[in-house]
A and B are shown apart, each in its own frame.
Chain A
Amino acid sequence: MKKITRRSFLKSTATAAAATLAAPVLPKGLYALARGDTPGYFEREFGITDSVCQKVLAEALAKGGDFADLFFEHTISNWLILEDGKVNRAYSDVALGVGIRTVKGDQVGYGFTQELTEKSMLNAASTAATIASAGAKKPSGKFAWLETKNYYPLKTLLTSVPLESKLPLVQSVNDKCFALSPLIAKVNAGYYDQQKRILVVTSDGTKAEDLQPRNYLYASVVAEKDGKRERAGWNFGGRRDFSFYTPALLEELAKTAVDRAVILFEAVQPPAGEMPVVLGPGVTGVLLHEAIGHGMEADFNRKKISTYSTMIGKKVAEPFVTIIDDGTVPNLLGSINFDDEGTPGQKTVLVDNGILSSYMYDKISARHYKVKSTGNGRRQSYQHYVQPRMRNTYMLAGPATPEDVIKSVKKGIYVQDVSNGEVKIGEGDFAFYVSQGKMIENGKLTAPIKDINIMGNGPKMLRNTTILANDLKMNKGGSGACGKGGQAVPCGFGQPTCLVKSMTVGGIRR
């Protein structure tokens, strides 16, 4: 069902600057060698040659259409899970298949198959072709490799890291959590990694192959005190080389999870009502993603169902506010060398000094608006069609210090982490659960808070963002996935400390 609700991002984290390090441009061969691999994986493993692709694309365009593409995927995912002190279960999944799409205007025909045989692929292509009803169109006779940068180089393929190296990570997180506090009653910990190989072949003659790594390490703890229990968790990850998981990082992970659970014993419910809200740096960027970012995805605007559909070129925020969606930040969860339609990874300015300057486009929306795709065409897997989706979305830093921002509030709340966000695209209304935060009283952080929602309106929140601090942090988590139209894709986000001058806080009545 195509329902515009999104319950997203699990646990995530702060720290690490939005360093947009320049990644070297490499020709395809070198680029692939940098990952310990040679190009042509799908040809080698599954016999996917140019001539097979051409035949299948010709079938997809047998009844006309503007263009067609093939999306091959071979993904291996692994989970190692600890419960009651031992890493005693493992799960793994292998996904193999090809999605075939025929596009005519804004109409899409889609078929997929898990059998990479010519016969199966031709069948799926003829399903996709049914969207059009004109004469056959010919795909390109030649396919050229797309040259891309590599935003997630690996020293070792994740599938080549032995289990014996991964298991101690998880065990160590468990032991550290118990060592940190006598209040810890239960620890669940785990390590997840995924190696996704994709090949995109388009009817206009482009082919692009990528290996997208993804991993994270998490801890979730239950603490007990005076007959009461609280639970919290944390994770670190992204598109990381295995060397990312250092002893110092494990320590930080365990400490964060434990501290977040233990502090809840002292937490209070703040009074309900309208009040100023300070968003802390990093993980609160999920609010920016949900409450504002989704409304800037081009499909919602092309269909005029987003509140931003009439606002391009107009003022949507104070002049010091700039919002960026960026596929090029090294090793972040939402980074992509190219999107799932073969458009290179790039950085897109959405709000430029307060003015709405661009939506996020996939190919269909870009053709509608007569602009170039911004490389936001993404899909969950070969079973799914492309939608405009965010990559890593963040707001640039401002001049204030974080202390200045907090000092400016007489009575309000400071939000350190939010979860379970949901947004109504057309109205811009959203609600988020505040999983970690503090009261602000007379310009100072006081009691920790819990069990409250913050509610508001995305465009209004953006207009009400009145102070920005100089501490932009990107979320360093790896477990988050954004949901849209029944599809989950990994996204990143970041945020400097900022003041939203008024929001509805749903707590208790005083």
Chain B
Amino acid sequence: MKKEMYDLAAWSIKTAKSAGADECRVGISSDRFVNISYRERKPENIKEASRRGLGIEVFVNGRYSAQSTSDLRKNALKDFISNAISTTKLLAKDPYRTLPDPKYYKGRAELDLEILDPDYKKFSPEDRHNMVKAAEESCLAKGGEKVISVTASEYDSYREVILMSSNGFEGYRESTYYQAVAQMTVQGEGDRRPMGFDYAAAVMRKDLPSPEKIGASAAKRTLDLLGGKKIKTETLPIIIENRNVPRILSGFLDAMYGANIQQKRSFLADKKGEMIASKYFTVIDDPFIKSGFGSRLFDGDGFAAKKRIMIDSGVLKEFFVDWYYSRKLSWEPTSGGPSNLIIPPGKRSLKEIMKDLGRGIFITGFIGGNSNSTTGDASIGIIGKLFENGKPVQSVSEMNIAGNHLKFWQQLVEAANDPWIYSSWRTPSLVFTDVVVSGL
């Protein structure tokens, strides 16, 4: 497929240029995926397909547009490209819109990111069914009599992407992905039927935990929700569970994107070099992690990927600035968005930390909420467990935390030693002090 994709990309560039484009950039993706789910010990859904898509950005007389299509018949594509160019000619000029300076393409790392499972083709339909069945069985077994419904599923894919520009960029990425999920609903008090789930995802199948483990953990997480209620409003330490940190972190990160900075929607715009959080807050963008979901050698602009410390012990070091907004801001570009995002883990386990904290809330889920990138104000519903001296006391729900990012991250006092590895954002559980948790 690789050669076919290269040829189509080159043909598209040639076609666009001969139809009047000054420059253009083409991305083609192709994937094949399988998705199987089980419920009541039989397949609920079986889905499998291949798909392809082509996206083309055209630069015509200082004007710009981007188009994408799944109709890759050559005749249709030819009309599609020529329509794209006529459309572009009618738009207003944008002096900032160009292909990147090719100097940023240079220096691409030469290493194997290990994002392609060499054994992907050995993953048989039978393996898939067995994996899902095992997750379902273990969830049912652990859930016991309270179970109302269990669904287990898997998703796996093989994906190729090619990016080519008329000013000399060429890049190709080939990767695999596996995901396993178990989800359970149990009978709670009265009409309440709490639902919980667990999942894991990996680039290499060998890095997935056993389906039995995922199923049992889904059951445990669901049973933990039973009896959840709100308690009195209280100022407490909170621990945000590793996998749930990205939901809060993404609100902070929104203010670090070039588009939001240039469009006056960032509360961090003028804070580069300043201490904007406690010294325990460090964020690293690392594209070179072996088998990381976000691992890459080049980004969407074609820039050679680099490891960057975005926030260093509380000091804001860098923003995510792509080529276009770097020109609008007259700043040096970095990269338009994160690859793998790391908050370095700490030394102590959750258990040790909880024991020392006294009374606090361990947050295992969020609900609703909002984070305003312009002002930094944020507010979100929480679900979790109240604990005292390391022992669980009470499941909590229908409670809320509210504040401003610029204050909230100053309250970070520790990271646990438990990074969540099943995501491109590898975050450990984080401990914050003196948080007002509002309830009754």
A171 to chain B, nearest CB (A): 9
Q: Is the CB of B90 within 8 A of A167?
A: yes
- B194 contacts across to A, CB distance below 8 A: 424, 426-427
- Chain B residue at minimum C-beta to C-beta distance from A450: B377
Q: For the complex, would chain A's binding face be called helix, strand, loop or mixed by DSSP majority?
A: strand
Q: Is the CB of A130 within 8 A of B263?
A: no
A375 to chain B, nearest CB (A): 22
Q: Is the CB of A114 within 8 A of B72?
A: yes
- Of the residues B48, B181, B399, contact of A2 by C-beta under 8 Å: B181
Q: Is the CB of B264 within 8 A of A455?
A: no
Q: Which of B6-14, B111-119, B367-375 contacts A (4 or more CB under 8 A)?
A: B367-375
With known contacts A2-B37, A95-B70, A310–B65 Cβ distance under 8 A: no
- Of the residues A4, A112, A272, A453, contact of B369 by C-beta under 8 Å: A453
- A188 contacts across to B, CB distance below 8 A: 263
CA distance A229 to B373 in the complex (A): 10
With known contacts A222-B264, A451-B370, A504–B380 Cβ distance under 8 A: no
Taking the complex as formed, is A111 at the interface, i.e. its CB lies under 8 A from any CB of chain B?
Answer: yes
Q: Is the CB of B402 within 8 A of A506?
A: yes
Taking the complex as formed, is A431 at the interface, i.e. its CB lies under 8 A from any CB of chain B?
Answer: yes
CA distance A463 to B50 in the complex (A): 48
Taking the complex as formed, is B1 at the interface, i.e. its CB lies under 8 A from any CB of chain A?
Answer: no
Contact with A along B35-66 (1 / 0, CB 8 A): 00101001111111111100000000001111
Taking the complex as formed, is B439 at the interface, i.e. its CB lies under 8 A from any CB of chain A?
Answer: yes
Q: Is the CB of A97 within 8 A of B70?
A: yes
With known contacts A86-B94, A272-B233, A231–B185 Cβ distance under 8 A: no
Q: Is the CB of A433 within 8 A of B379?
A: yes
Q: Is the CB of B67 within 8 A of A93?
A: yes
Q: Is the CB of B65 within 8 A of A425?
A: no
Q: Is the CB of B179 within 8 A of A427?
A: no
Q: Is the CB of B370 within 8 A of A419?
A: yes
B residues 140-184 in Cβ contact with A at 8 Å: 148-149, 151, 153, 155, 179, 181, 183
With known contacts A114-B70, A429-B397, A509–B233 Cβ distance under 8 A: yes
- A186 contacts across to B, CB distance below 8 A: 263-265
Q: What is the number of residues of chain A that contact chain B, defined by CB distance less than 8 Å?
A: 87
Q: Which of A237-245, A252-260, A301-309, A398-406 contacts B (4 or more CB under 8 A)?
A: A301-309
Q: Which of B80-88, B100-108, B131-139 contacts A (4 or more CB under 8 A)?
A: B80-88
Q: Which of A17-25, A101-109, A190-198 contacts B (4 or more CB under 8 A)?
A: A101-109
CA distance A262 to B353 in the complex (A): 45
- B179 contacts across to A, CB distance below 8 A: 1
With known contacts A88-B92, A111-B49, A507–B402 Cβ distance under 8 A: yes
- A91 contacts across to B, CB distance below 8 A: 65-68
- B84 contacts across to A, CB distance below 8 A: 92
- Of the residues A185, A229, A272, contact of B400 by C-beta under 8 Å: A272
- Give A contacts to B, CB under 8 Å: 1-5, 80, 83-84, 86-97, 106-114, 124, 127, 130-131, 163-164, 167, 185-186, 188, 222, 224, 228-231, 269, 272-274, 303-307, 309-311, 383, 385, 419-422, 424-433, 435, 450-453, 455-457, 459, 504, 506-509
15 A-B contacts (beta carbon < 8 Å): A1-B155, A88-B64, A92-B67, A114-B52, A114-B72, A272-B233, A273-B233, A303-B149, A304-B148, A422-B381, A428-B191, A430-B368, A431-B380, A453-B370, A456-B398
